[in-house]
Structure 1
Amino acid sequence: MEERGYRYFYDCEFIEDGVTIDLVSIGVVDEEGREFYAVSTEFDDRKAIPWVRRNVLDKLPSPSDKAWRSRERIRDDLYEFLVAPLRGRAQTRMELWAWYAAYDHVALAQLWGAMPALPRALPRMTKDLKQLWDDLGRPDLPVIEGDQHDALADARHNLARWRVMRDGDTPPAV
């Protein structure tokens, strides 16, 4: 029997200084529409370049919002979100998908520390939607309106992109 993939589409916002990728926020949407969103209470906003301040930090929810969590709590809550739908499902593996996936995967994996600490249930790589789009001849994709660089809005957009690429449909507005 062929193992079926259960897909998650995600996006991370982060501060990157050439040495460190510091998670700011993560948004995840699964193929059934469940959503996860968290903002780290531990990133160093002093290291953010003006573009990140303007396009990411200035758009974060109020610090009193329940999305704000420690990295440890993000890690634990995210793990539960990712593995819960797979419990009791035979022949199901997890697939992670992101646009320009390499940075996102590093930001996600760092929640567990060094790569060997990543739980066995989680994939060791994230599939790249941008690469798939290139491989398919760059079909028209939905255009995101308004909330670009909001991790959850971008995760929703990644799911919409994947659906268009999978089905070959006309892109919907996102």
Structure 2
Amino acid sequence: MKVFFDTEFTGLHQNTTLISIGCVAEDGRTFYAELTDYDKCQVDDWIKKNVISNLVIHHERDYYYKVTDIEEIYKSNSYGIGSRLSVWLQQFDKVEMWSDCLSYDWVLFCQLFGHAFNIPNNVYYIPFDICTVFKLKGIDPDVSREDFAGAKDWNVEHKHNALHDAKVIKACYERLMNM
């Protein structure tokens, strides 16, 4: 099962901390989580305007909501989210993780489980990214993901919401594979 994921975090630097993660499986099942223990001192005005404003849960308490049989939303600390994500991933026999530009996404994903050697056994240890696929298909990897995916009619003000962005990544992958 391919799982497309995106993370939002406190900045493009070595000690960044995870704010949220969104995952969407090939079959449409979704996982979305917001973390309560990200480093708020690292949040600048851009992060406040573009990421924090697109969070779904506006309180700091632990939270779980099963929207539908295929959509789950959580809020907790890193340990709680890592545990919930591990359970969610166990519903699949084998998992490939796909992201956009996965340099930060993969490291933050692995940190939810303590480190890379602790990721769930059914998750393939090598991640994949659509930036490389864009390049291999002769498309500028800096292309607007929403435009390429045909997601212009989607709620664009939710860009930089991890679940929204994971859905866009999935749509881009599907279009790329049909080229």
TM-score, structure 1 length as denominator? 0.82
The Cα offsets for residues 66-113 of structure 1, whole Å up to 9 and x where unpaired, read as: 431121121111112112122xxxxxx321100001210001000122
> Which residues in structure 2 correspond to 1:37-48 (within 5 Å)?
37-48=32-43
2:47 aligned partner = 52
RMSD over aligned Cα, in angstroms? 1.9
> Given that residues 92 and 122 in structure 2 are in contact (C-alpha distance below 8 angstroms), is that contact kept between their aligned partners in structure 1?
no
Say whether 1:109 aligns with 2:110: yes
Gaps of 5+ in 1: 1-5, 87-92, 169-174
Whole-angstrom CA distance in 1 between matches of 2:88 and 2:158: 23
2:90 aligned partner = 83
Whole-angstrom CA distance in 2 between matches of 1:21 and 1:117: 20
2:163 aligned partner = 152
My pick for the range that moved more, 66-75 or 26-35, is 66-75
Say whether 1:32 aligns with 2:39: no
Gaps of 5+ in 2: 65-73, 141-146
SS at structure 1 position matched to 2:88 = helix
1:72 aligned partner = 79
4+ runs deviating over 4 angstroms: none
The Cα offsets for residues 6-48 of structure 1, whole Å up to 9 and x where unpaired, read as: 1000000011363313110000000000000000011122211
2:7 to 12, 22, 30: 12
The Cα offsets for residues 138-174 of structure 1, whole Å up to 9 and x where unpaired, read as: 1872254331100000011011001101112xxxxxx
Q: How many residues align?
A: 157
> Given that residues 105 and 126 in structure 1 are in contact (C-alpha distance below 8 angstroms), is that contact kept between their aligned partners in structure 2?
yes
> Given that residues 102 and 126 in structure 1 are in contact (C-alpha distance below 8 angstroms), is that contact kept between their aligned partners in structure 2?
no
Identity %: 27
